[in-house]
């Protein structure tokens, strides 16, 4: 059984908790292209909104998966909400926003989950109550592994980019390279997609799996999307890589434990899929973006 199949309920519960933090960031972070402003930062202990401002005061909210708590941080205090098995999403929502208000921030969010099977507002969700401390820590290890691999790949690129972080809608850790060519999404009625996909770009990411993919996987998604075409996979890719025409992206599944995988294989996948993707998108004059940095090795 794959990691997703084994931990689907725990993953869903944790994603809903991430959505609460993400929706707070959505409301109070200054807007950026490609929804870059809503990404949750991966931390040594979990994931966080990072620094936010409300009515002249600063705050941060972190899901600490090591100590099993959500922390509302202000200049004066840290206030905690306990993460525990059996506690439903409705209770997390009530306790979190009560804590936020007690901290002096009268904020509100849209409580309907986004990009998920679950359509129950947070305040009414008693079905998802499957937080598990061990599973949460393993999920954090996967996210940190993905963040590190993506950061090593994208950091030296001389290109406009969105750095790795947790996209809470789809619960993937992803980063983006942009080509600075405007390409509006064809359906302006799709609110999320029209802002996410409006420039030539390649997204590089990782997700824990889903009902069709029981194992965690890395992906590379070119935009404009690949249609009626199957991009090549050659010896420059790590073994097991392939292009999925239905998803219009390169995939590299990982069937082993996170501790058994090396970042180098993932970076090889990103390097190879980057080259194949920008060839397909016919990006010109990008050779400079891979020029080595004139810095001493770390």
pLDDT > 80? residue 259 = no
Between residues 261 and 128, the one the model is more confident about: 128
pLDDT at 260: 73
pLDDT at 31: 97
The DSSP secondary structure of 258-291, one letter per residue, reads GGG--HHHHHHHHHHHHHHHHHHHT--S-GGGGS
Rg (CA), the chain: 20
Q: How confident is the model at residue 53 (pLDDT cuts 50, 70, 90)?
A: very high
Sign of CA dihedral 180, 181, 184, 186: negative
C-alpha distance from residue 152 to each of 44, 139, 256 (Å): 17, 20, 21
Asked if 221 and 249 count as a contact pair (C-beta separation under 8 A), the reply is yes
% of the chain residues with pLDDT over 90: 92
pLDDT at 251: 98
Taking the whole predicted model, whether its pTM rises above 0.85 is answered as: yes
Three-state DSSP at 193 gives helix
If you average pLDDT over every residue of the chain, what do you get?
Answer: 95
Q: How confident is the model at residue 287 (pLDDT cuts 50, 70, 90)?
A: confident
For the chain, the domains span 3-133, 134-282
pLDDT at 257: 80
pLDDT > 90? residue 109 = yes
Asked if 175 and 150 count as a contact pair (C-beta separation under 8 A), the reply is yes
C-alpha distance from residue 203 to each of 55, 110, 122, 233 (Å): 34, 27, 29, 17
Helix (H) or strand (E) holding 3: helix 3-28
pLDDT at 161: 97
pLDDT at 1: 78
């Amino acid at each position: 059984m794959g990691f997703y199949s084994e931990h689907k309920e725990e993953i869903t519960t944790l994603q809903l908790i991430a959505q609460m933090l993400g929706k707070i960031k959505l409301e109070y972070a200054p807007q950026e292209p490609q929804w870059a402003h809503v990404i949750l930062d991966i931390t040594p202990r979990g994931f966080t909104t990072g620094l936010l401002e409300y009515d002249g005061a600063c705050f941060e909210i972190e899901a600490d998966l090591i100590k099993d708590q959500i922390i509302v941080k202000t200049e004066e205090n840290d206030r905690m909400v306990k993460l525990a098995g059996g506690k439903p999403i409705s209770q997390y929502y009530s306790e979190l926003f009560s804590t936020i208000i007690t901290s002096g921030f009268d904020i509100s969010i849209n409580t309907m989950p986004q990009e998920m099977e679950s359509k129950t507002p947070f305040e009414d969700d008693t079905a998802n109550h499957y937080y598990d401390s061990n599973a949460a820590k393993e999920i954090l290890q996967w996210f940190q592994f993905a963040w590190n691999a993506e950061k090593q790949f994208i950091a030296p690129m001389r290109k406009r980019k969105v750095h790795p972080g947790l996209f809470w809608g789809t619960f993937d850790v992803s980063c983006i390279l942009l080509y600075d060519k405007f390409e509006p999404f064809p359906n302006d009625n799709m609110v999320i997609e029209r802002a996410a996909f409006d420039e030539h770009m390649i997204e590089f990411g990782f997700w824990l799996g889903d009902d069709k993919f029981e194992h965690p996987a890395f992906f590379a998604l070119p935009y404009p999307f690949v249609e009626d075409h199957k991009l090549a996979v050659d010896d420059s890719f790590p073994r097991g890589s392939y292009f999925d025409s239905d998803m219009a992206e390169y995939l590299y599944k990982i069937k082993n434990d996170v501790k058994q995988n090396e970042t180098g294989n993932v970076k090889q996948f990103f390097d190879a899929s980057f080259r194949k993707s920008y060839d397909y998108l016919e990006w010109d004059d990008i050779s400079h973006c891979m020029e080595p940095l004139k810095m001493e090795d770390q």
